[in-house]
């Protein structure tokens, strides 16, 4: 059960937080935003951290999920769960189609292509005003319902969003520890090497791109119902960058790094508001500090420094990176 140790600790933190602070804004409101961001970041990390492919367009998949749910439930009165499934299906198709040509590119070119894709999807949200509502957005998205239980309060959303996050982390853990996971890391290490060992690198890159897009779309659908209103501003290029920063800041190639990154990056602006005009300056300074002193990311860097103090020395650093 060793590989799930971190998973249980995460679950424990998620369960205990609202019990200690039952009516705290930072737990029940910001906690939901963190969980949804973290879910996307965990998916993106499969692509970035484990497979070594960058995507600057993940806000688009988040947006496709959100707009599928928003449009189908408001215009066609679909059941939100069918709309969510439809969102996943659409995302799957889109990701599958663009992955083939895009993932042939490497490095900066891949970054550029995904960036372009993200911007195109954003324009598609802004332009057809009569369908998407254009820049004014889409309102009156109905409440999500689980077995007759309306998800309409902050604490209920906390449970649903974090439940989804735990599900996502569990899936990611299993994926990484499977044969596919090993193949992914081989691709990250050396594409030629992986190919020599019999890994179909093109296929596996496409698959992981699709999986990571599905993570984003799922979070996007939940986001649409949680906010009850969506507009293109929430899925802009800026959010794609934020997601990448969450992954890098938390620490790539660790399942908990992106969650930590999402938590820090969502929480920091909320807590720094007390500094008013200096907020952005301080945020920038903190980011720079982290990248200078903990270049592997906050989670990986810190856990490497702290773990030996608590665990027996036998735990090798290689394992702590993998955990």
Q: Which residues bind another protein (CB under 8 A)?
A: 9, 13, 20-21, 23-27, 29-30, 33, 126-127, 129, 134-137, 139-140, 154, 227-231, 233-234, 269-271, 273-274, 279-280, 302-303, 306-307, 309-310
| Closer by beta carbon to another protein, 33 or else 212 | 33
* DSSP SS3 for 133: coil
Q: Which is nearer to another protein, 140 or 198 (CB)?
A: 140
Q: Which residues pair with 149 in a beta bridge?
A: 146
Q: Sort 41 into a burial class: Cβ within 10 Å, 0-12 / 13-18 / 19+.
A: buried
Report yes or no: 134 and 126 within 8 Å, Cβ to Cβ: yes
The tokens for 69 are 């749910």
Work out the burial of residue 137: count CB atoms within 10 Å of its CB; fewer than 13 is exposed, 13-18 middle, 19 or more buried. Answer: middle
**Distance (Å, rounded) from C-alpha 295 to C-alpha 21?**
33
Nearer to another protein, 51 or 234 (CB): 234
Nearest approach, Cβ of residue 233 and another protein (Å): 5
State the nearest-atom distance from the C-beta of 113 to another protein, in Å. 22
Least distance to another protein from the beta carbon of 18, Å?
A: 11
Cα separations (Å) of 144 from 147, 156, 272?
Answer: 10, 11, 32
The span from the first CA to the last CA of the chain, in angstroms, equals 12
Q: Which is nearer to another protein, 54 or 164 (CB)?
A: 164
Q: Taking a C-beta distance cutoff of 8 angstroms, is the pair 83, 72 a contact? A: yes
Cα(234)–Cα(239) distance, rounded to whole angstroms? 7
Overall residue count recorded for the chain in this entry: 323
Residue 263 beta carbon to another protein: minimum distance, rounded to whole angstroms: 9
Residue 66, class by beta-carbon neighbours within 10 Å (0-12 exposed, 13-18 middle, 19+ buried)? buried
Question: Which is closer to another protein, CB of 76 or CB of 310?
Answer: 310
Q: Least distance (Å) from another protein to the CB of residue 267?
A: 9
Nearest distance, CB of residue 72 and another protein, angstroms: 19
Q: Least Å distance between CB 73 and another protein?
A: 14
**Closer residue to another protein, CB minimum distance, 21 or 109:** 21
Residue 202 vs 279, nearer CB to another protein: 279
- Select 173 or 187, whichever has its Cβ closest to another protein: 173
- Count of CB atoms within 10 A of residue 312's CB? 6
Shortest CB 68 distance to another protein, Å = 18
The continuous run of DSSP H or E covering 288 comes out as helix 279-293
């Amino acid at each position: 059960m060793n590989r799930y140790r971190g998973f249980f600790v995460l679950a424990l933190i998620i369960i205990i937080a609202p019990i200690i602070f039952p009516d705290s804004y930072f737990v029940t409101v910001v906690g939901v935003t963190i969980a949804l961001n973290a879910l996307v970041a965990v998916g993106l990390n499969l692509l970035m951290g484990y497979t070594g492919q960058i995507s600057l367009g993940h806000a688009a998949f988040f947006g496709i999920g959100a707009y599928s749910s928003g449009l189908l439930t408001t215009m066609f009165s679909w059941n939100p769960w069918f709309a969510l499934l439809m969102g996943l299906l659409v995302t799957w198709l889109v990701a599958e189609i663009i992955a083939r040509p895009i993932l042939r590119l490497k490095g900066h070119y891949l970054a550029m292509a995904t960036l372009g894709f993200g911007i195109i999807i954003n324009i598609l949200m802004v332009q057809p005003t009569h369908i998407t509502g254009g820049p004014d957005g889409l309102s009156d998205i109905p409440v999500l319902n689980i077995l007759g239980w309306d998800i309409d309060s902050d604490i209920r959303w906390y449970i649903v969003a974090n439940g989804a996050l735990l599900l996502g982390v569990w899936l990611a853990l299993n994926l990484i520890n499977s044969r596919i996971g090993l193949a992914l890391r081989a691709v990250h290490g050396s594409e030629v090497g992986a190919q020599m060992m019999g890994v179909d690198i093109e296929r596996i890159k496409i698959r992981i791109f699709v999986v990571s897009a599905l993570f984003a779309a799922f979070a996007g659908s939940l986001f649409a119902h949680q906010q009850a209103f969506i507009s293109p501003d929430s899925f802009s290029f800026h959010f794609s960058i934020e997601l990448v920063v969450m992954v890098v800041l938390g620490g790539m190639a660790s399942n908990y790094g992106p969650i930590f990154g999402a938590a820090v990056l969502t929480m920091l602006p909320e807590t720094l508001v007390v500094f008013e005009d200096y907020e952005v300056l301080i945020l920038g300074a903190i980011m720079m500090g982290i990248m200078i002193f903990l270049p592997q990311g906050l989670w990986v860097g810190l856990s490497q420094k702290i773990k030996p103090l608590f665990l027996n020395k036998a735990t090798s650093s290689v394992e702590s990176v993998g955990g």
